Chain A
Amino acid sequence: MTEAGRHRVVDAPLAPPAPTAGLLDVLGRRYLLKLLVRREISARYQGSFLGFIWSYINPLSQLFIFWFVFGYIIGRGTVDKYAVHVFCGLIVVHFFTETFNAGTRSIVRNKALVRKMAMPKEMFPVASMLVSLYHVGPQLVILTVVCLFCGWTPDPLGMLAFALALAIIAVLGTALALMFSAANVFFRDFASAVTILTNFVRFGVPMIYPYTLVDQRFGRFAELYLFNPIADAVLLVQRAFWVGSTDDPDATIAEHIPDDLFVYGVGALVGSVVLLGIAQLVFTRLENKIPERLS
């Protein structure tokens, strides 16, 4: 059994077999990422008759509830085009909470893979973020249609604001999902805690109430409110879509949009990137024990 021709020269370095570059490894494996994202998207509506239409029904119903309860019954809708004001917030809040919630559960949910296959585990929270980002699409379509109907026209600064808002939430959401997905392997309590935590998010952003209210009530402490990256992202989206939908955009900006919103926005992005770096460090420390804890 010592046939000749069993010689094989492997042109690769001798290296540790486990992936070590964390999020950078994820960037290098875009095909796998695409498969994971596609799988999760199709899994969400598996066995459902209306399928993808739910992605439209869901935000529409929320929009209606907020408009009806707060704008109509309670009469809180003191700002012009209140429904658009709320919807701008909803998009951001949804994107964030979906990323955070699904991302936190992502590693445990994929334990069959994590237990046996060598792959960068950061893949799973990142995929959750991309799935949530994908679902921003239908909401954006609804928002755009409603805004156009209100006489909104796109402006470059507004689009920049929107892109900045998405970037903030994408990075912040990934950072939190990364940290909590690892923690959730050790104690499943984290997933439950995150669900409760995300319930509060919508009240900490100027969605149901306008930012002016915060400004009036808290005076100089309103600045602290703007240290919340999610609040900044909501305001940026409102700057992008709601402002242009109101009857007098200039007056709306002057009254409801903080002066240095973009400064806060860029600050929020930088802060989120720093948090992502910390999250990667935490993840790397916990990661070694993940496969054995899942069996």
Chain B
Amino acid sequence: MTDPAAYDADTSIVVDHVSKDFTLRYHRTAKQMAVAMVKGRDISDTFSALDDVSFTVKQGESIGLMGLNGSGKSTLLKLINGVMKPDSGTVLTRGRIAGLIATGAGFHPQLTGRENVYLNAAILGMTEPETQRKFDSIVEFADIGRFLETPVGNYSSGMFARLGFAVAIHVDSDIFLADEVLAVGDRPFKRKCMEKMQEIRESGRTLVYVSHAAGSVRKMCDRVIVLEKGRVGFDGPVDEGIRYVKYDEDSTKPEDQEDDELGSDV
């Protein structure tokens, strides 16, 4: 086990030799499994989503987490916010954590927007009075109008993300995780999100920002970590990191500066 006392008082996130495997199940039912066994095929296989990942983040640092689809970014964020535990290694964090993972919030599809705001806020550690106090501001930011009283299962993906982001930014957190938040949502909302995250950053909170949009990472982050097939491929200054991710892509086309910033974040 890693000793928390071994780190400085301003350490915000510690990821120490962390690995996470997933089991890939090819066959799920008894019948399929029986057939597979008779034919001598594999029933399941393990897949290493994160492999010996280590880094530490200081309070107030803003990290751009980059890498191709499937490189383990969302998995890493799930370990940092405590949804999952690593198979080996240690994750340590300091203070409250809020944010969005894999674009969506943890909302219950059958509950209305209003109910979900309360539930989500409670899970993130907000008290009832605190939620009541911030409720109007949350709703205003999400800007979902009359849909507040309909089940979130009926929301468009943009509305869903907006409400989730609105709750997350209202939590008085010390660490903020933003996983492809800009991938859904329209242009005005993206701009609003960027402003908000800039605020979060300036308030001295630790920010982990996952994005494919180089421009926004450049604007938002002090450091870039690049994941490659579950391993840390690069950890260092922003510009160098961005160059590192793009090494095998055709060079950046600076046709639309804003698009680069706001991200055609897929």
CB-CB nearest in chain A for B111 = A39
A118 to B171, CA, bound (A): 14
Residues 27-41 (chain A) with a chain B CB within 8 angstroms? 29, 31-32, 35-36, 39
Tell whether A19 pairs with B85 under 8 Å between CB atoms, given A8-B204, A13-B94, A113-B108: no
Tell whether A17 pairs with B80 under 8 Å between CB atoms, given A8-B205, A12-B174: yes
Residue A76 lies at the interface, judged by CB distance under 8 Å to chain B: no
Pair B106/A16 contact, Cβ less than 8 Å: no
Least distance between A121 CB and chain B CB atoms (Å): 10
Q: Write out the residue numbers on chain B whose beta carbons fall within 8 Å of the beta carbon of A35.
A: 118-119, 122
Residue B203 lies at the interface, judged by CB distance under 8 Å to chain A: yes
Residues 171-209 (chain B) with a chain A CB within 8 angstroms? 174, 201-205
The contact string, 1 if C-beta is below 8 Å from chain A, for chain B 123-162, is 1100110000000000000000000000000000000000
Pair A13/B4 contact, Cβ less than 8 Å: yes
Pair A15/B92 contact, Cβ less than 8 Å: yes
Residue B211 lies at the interface, judged by CB distance under 8 Å to chain A: no
Q: Write out the residue numbers on chain A whose beta carbons fall within 8 Å of the beta carbon of B59.
A: 8-10
Pair A112/B107 contact, Cβ less than 8 Å: yes
Q: Write out the residue numbers on chain B whose beta carbons fall within 8 Å of the beta carbon of A114.
A: 106
Least distance between B122 CB and chain A CB atoms (Å): 4
Residue B216 lies at the interface, judged by CB distance under 8 Å to chain A: no
Q: How large is the interface on A (under 10, 10 to 19, 20 to 34, 35 or more residues)?
A: 35 or more
Least distance between A43 CB and chain B CB atoms (Å): 7
Q: Write out the residue numbers on chain A whose beta carbons fall within 8 Å of the beta carbon of B102.
A: 116
Tell whether A10 pairs with B85 under 8 Å between CB atoms, given A35-B118, A113-B106, A116-B102: no
Pair A16/B92 contact, Cβ less than 8 Å: yes
Tell whether A6 pairs with B119 under 8 Å between CB atoms, given A14-B14, A17-B80, A292-B22: no
Tell whether A110 pairs with B93 under 8 Å between CB atoms, given A17-B82, A35-B119, A118-B81: no
Residue B101 lies at the interface, judged by CB distance under 8 Å to chain A: yes
Instruction: Count how many pairs of residues, one from A and one from B, have CB atoms less than 8 Å apart in the complex.
Output: 115
The contact string, 1 if C-beta is below 8 Å from chain A, for chain B 80-115, is 111111000011111111000110111111110001
Pair B83/A115 contact, Cβ less than 8 Å: yes
A12 to B93, CA, bound (A): 9
Residues 1-57 (chain A) with a chain B CB within 8 angstroms? 1, 3, 5-10, 12-19, 29, 31-32, 35-36, 39, 43
Tell whether A18 pairs with B94 under 8 Å between CB atoms, given A116-B104, A116-B106, A117-B106: no
Residue B55 lies at the interface, judged by CB distance under 8 Å to chain A: no
Residue B12 lies at the interface, judged by CB distance under 8 Å to chain A: yes
CB-CB nearest in chain B for A17 = B82
CB-CB nearest in chain A for B108 = A112
A32 to B118, CA, bound (A): 9
Q: Which of A12, A110, A115, A116 contacts B95 (CB 8 A)?
A: A12
Residue B231 lies at the interface, judged by CB distance under 8 Å to chain A: no
Pair B92/A39 contact, Cβ less than 8 Å: no
Residue A216 lies at the interface, judged by CB distance under 8 Å to chain B: no
CB-CB nearest in chain A for B87 = A288
Q: Which of B11, B14, B96, B105 contacts A116 (CB 8 A)?
A: B105
Least distance between A115 CB and chain B CB atoms (Å): 7
Pair A32/B95 contact, Cβ less than 8 Å: no
Pair A14/B204 contact, Cβ less than 8 Å: no
Pair A8/B174 contact, Cβ less than 8 Å: yes
Pair B97/A39 contact, Cβ less than 8 Å: no
CB-CB nearest in chain A for B151 = A46
A294 to B48, CA, bound (A): 18
Pair A288/B84 contact, Cβ less than 8 Å: yes
A292 to B25, CA, bound (A): 12
Residue A119 lies at the interface, judged by CB distance under 8 Å to chain B: yes
The contact string, 1 if C-beta is below 8 Å from chain B, for chain A 108-150, is 0010111111110000000000000000000000000000000
Pair B84/A292 contact, Cβ less than 8 Å: yes
Tell whether A16 pairs with B90 under 8 Å between CB atoms, given A35-B118, A118-B82, A288-B85: yes
Q: Write out the residue numbers on chain B whose beta carbons fall within 8 Å of the beta carbon of A206.
A: none
Residue B26 lies at the interface, judged by CB distance under 8 Å to chain A: no
The contact string, 1 if C-beta is below 8 Å from chain A, for chain B 202-228, is 111100000000000000001000000
Q: Write out the residue numbers on chain A whose beta carbons fall within 8 Å of the beta carbon of B91.
A: 16-17
Q: Write out the residue numbers on chain B whose beta carbons fall within 8 Å of the beta carbon of A289.
A: 23
A291 to B78, CA, bound (A): 10
A39 to B109, CA, bound (A): 13
A114 to B106, CA, bound (A): 8
Q: Write out the residue numbers on chain B whose beta carbons fall within 8 Å of the beta carbon of A288.
A: 84-85
Least distance between A113 CB and chain B CB atoms (Å): 5
A14 to B95, CA, bound (A): 8
A199 to B12, CA, bound (A): 52
Pair A15/B93 contact, Cβ less than 8 Å: yes
Extra inter-chain contacts (12) besides given A18-B84, A35-B119, A116-B106, CB under 8 Å: A1-B222, A9-B10, A9-B59, A10-B95, A12-B174, A15-B93, A29-B122, A43-B110, A113-B107, A116-B104, A118-B123, A291-B84
| A to B CB contacts below 8 Å, 11 in the list | A7-B60, A7-B204, A14-B93, A16-B92, A18-B82, A31-B128, A36-B119, A112-B106, A116-B102, A117-B124, A118-B83
